[in-house]
Structure 1
Amino acid sequence: MRKLAAIMFTDIAGYTALMGEDEPKALALLQKNREFLRPLIEQRNGEWLKEMGDGTLSSFASAVDAVNCALEIQRTIKDDPELTLRIGIHIGDVVFEGGDVFGDGVNVASRIEPLAGPGGICVSDRVYDDIQNKPDIETVFLGEKTLKHVKRPIKVYALTGEGLPAPSAEAFATEGAVPTRVAIPSRRILAAVIGILIVIAGYAIYTRYISRPGKIETIAVLPFEDLSGVENNEWFSQGMTEAISTNLSKVSALTVISNQSAWQYKVAAMPIPEFGQRLKADVFVTGSVLRVEEKVRITARLIEAATNRHLWAQDYERDMANILAMQSEVARAIAGEIKVKLTPEEETRLASARQINPETYEAYLKGMFYVYKGEYEQGLTYLNQAIEKDPADPLAYAGLAFGYVTIGHSIAATPDVWPRAREAALRALRLDETLAEGHAALADVKTYYEWDWEGAEQSFLRADELNPNLAMNHYHYAWYLALFGRLDEAIVEHKRAQELDPLTPLHTTYLGWLYWIGGDYEKAIEEIRKTLKLYPDDWEGLWSLGYVLADAGMYEEAIAAHQKAGDLGALGLTYAKAGRRDEAQKILAELEEEEATPWGAFSLAVLYTALGEKDEAFRWLAYEQPHTFVPWVRVLPLFEPLWADPRFKDLLQRMNLPE
């Protein structure tokens, strides 16, 4: 719908600098600004259209309403030590569509707003014509200005009077394009101007080259703030954060910290420099996301981790249908800003974003949000909805494969999850062979379900080629290598997973297992204790520590760890190794009474092995639905008593493993 409207732009003076110095304070100020402005604009017959970073856009039916609203805003907050606004108003022909507004009128208003000094209001000649005869509104003419992307020069006026600052001639002279009327300056003025330009140029050189951080190799994307003001909308901002991180992860010259670690910033309650040390990150990407109907605006910022210093910021806006292209554009801009060279293949992949069905993408984002939270049933429901809406969407199939694989690794895995994971991964790759996540999921299927060892390694390597920053791909490939005795390579891969995802416990805990397999008890215990230092009640850390301690003969400590972990099978093993067979047998009887599951069968095999009852151990290792751990009987010290038994060779052959 096209109509004549008065457009008002506001922004917070000094906000960019504040964001670089104190991000939590800046975000709190943004919230304060929103809560103050919106009701006041609506009370003054205005329509709140959208928020763009620290800026707002509103429309009014008349210039008088817009100006009166602006005056009330500035007079209300004139003594506020935190919130200082600039306001620009223009009236013109604009187009309203889908809750947004477009047109030359919008562009002119946005270009006028920076001409106002802090606390000030600037208006165009079109607005001035409507208010010049209002006795309670005072103005002063600042001059003509040629504004960017505006064909004709615009006469600009500043509002004056009670509660307003004196008009800023400096802001008018330096903001925007060069004024259309240029007077020849005196020599004194010219010398002063040259001096100022030299200072500005020197500062620019300093900030651009000298004061910038050294070589940037490690980056983390912190959770983006949702500015939409919609409840239960975290799935959208988290999805945008994940997407930008994923696009950056495709750049082989960068180490991109996993979102699983980066998202812990929300609960870490620590300053940026300290969190940067914990992640070993050089820079952080932060920002905000605003969605209005089918329009999405992302504000991305780059912050030096060691100093919390603001390095760069940029706004991006697209329709939902082109959201993938915008995510790629943000990633390319960040890579360019930190001087990272992309390979031709990476350039091609980042530039080849397709259009999407907004409803499909929404369902996909919601699905991944719940899968990451561990609410698998709800997550898989949304992912299947995405596929129903668009059966040709590769992201939805890749997300579904990831969800099923994640369930497959859990104690509660059911027999159907691995076939479903395989089907979803293959469908994803038929639709888009360049999806690293699809290859990673397929590698897991081939490793833990099909026992297709050659195919598994091919899939691991292809996933790494497409995205070298997938922490879980490195983790599972490490265990693949360990299974075949390539322990040195396995430790390198596992350490890479740990580097990419340092705050996820399993990357440290199971690195300890690799040292245990190699017979280095000291390093094994050291790694596992690192997990427990950060997460004292972590089940897998306690469970693992108990196993290693028991194998090292430190039975009392092992029993304490397994009692705290609350795992009966592990505790039974430790009792058996410590010579407390009666207590081990009691636990065995309890486990035998439980309904058989893949995990239960594996636990029974471990306990029977520790008790020296090999027949029973082999019976449970041959359970019809083997747990994903079963192939690793080949290398785990838990099963060393079985290795010389002829039946062990048969077990390995059934799994296509060498002796």
Structure 2
Amino acid sequence: MSRRLCAIMFTDIQGYTRLMQESEKSAVAVRHKHRSIFDPLTKQFGGEIIQYYGDGTLSIFDSTVKAVECAQALQTEFLKEPAIPVRIGIHTGDIIITEDDIIGDSVNLASRIESLGVPGSVLVSGKVADEIRSQEHLPLQKIGSFHFKNDSLKRQVFALDLPGFSKPDIGVIQGKLEDSEKKKTLLSPFWKTLIYGGIAGLVIFLLWNVYQASFSATVGKQLAVLPFTNLANDPAQSYLVDGIHEAIISELLQAGIDVKPKTTMTSYRNTGKSPGKIAQELNVNVLVEGSVLRQDDAIQITISLLDGLGDKYLWSDTYDSEMTDLMVLYRDVTRSIAGEIQVALAPQVEARLSTVTKLNPEAYDLYLRGREQFNLGTAENLQRAVTYYEESMAIDPEFDPIYTALIETYLLMGFGGIDPYEAHTNFRISMEKAMSHNPDLKADHHLQAMIKIFSDWDWTGAEKD
């Protein structure tokens, strides 16, 4: 590691997630245009691109003036029709250079300054403003003084004041500020929750669809697993019931069985619709019903198959297990369902299903609580999910799904209003831990597709995975 004094620039494309939802083709075109502008101009002004993360970039410059001139040139190009809604933030200070990243308080501050921006804006710190004060071609307008998260000082923030460039409205400004310093906004808590939930739903939708694409070769029965019934009628056990429901869907997917994702099925809880109606809406021909009863560490699960066309039961069985053997139970259920719908399992799938995996009850319980928080999808829930996952990992670091769960969570955090650079850094750390813990994860197509989509923007590679 080494230290260096430099100007740090963050950029991100605002609304990129929504654009992906509306048109993948348009999103890819925006990304290509962004890079075709960003790469050559950064090099032209002597910048060094450190990394692309999600829908943003991090780069450094030896000259503060050159960094702001580069930001001006970038924003001028981004604003040309069809415009790319980019916000830019710059700070200057001491950084620590690692093998493949840069860290330090100055990096964090630059990220927080960028978070206050709006599309078409270039925001800089007071320190940057002091260094370019004599540059008449780079006029600035003070936006205000702000107390950022995890920062003991109030920081002045300025905006590049040029024709066509935007500046945030101090009355509705958004960003990574301490709660006590946040301004009143036009968004009510209801709408914030709705927006976070929509982003969460989109990312989960993308992850599941990438996951399903890996196993689309199955021909024949299409399944939908209805939300399981909590026989204990205890709301405190809902996380367990939902976690078992999600785990069985995951096992069916990994076995190559065509099954609807959990996110699709949530709306059918207590729906009152007939099995035939649900099957028609989902375009499936087999429904899976289930119920869960827990007494201490003893788990009883009943699974039934229904003919989606004839509204009749095809098969049913009950499974009893201790918490430590739940993974074996999931795989027994998967094997039974595959047999009943006459799906031939590949030899490698049979080998995996035959593997005996013991669970640590306490660690797995924490993991399921984390899954519950993750599926809720708000910023606060995601942070709670990380806490549960880390506690679970501390108890049982050998449990592979916990690593993928952390990676998914940090990815979602990066698109849900939390510091994207911080979330991406945590994502990379989690990914490296996962690969170090289990080298076989390098062959995990689901994981590799997530990395390629949200870290490398490699849609072609993700589609192959």
What's the TM-score, normalizing by structure 1? 0.35
Bigger radius of gyration: 1
Q: Which has the higher strand share?
A: 2
What's the TM-score, normalizing by structure 2? 0.49
Q: Which has the higher helix share?
A: 1
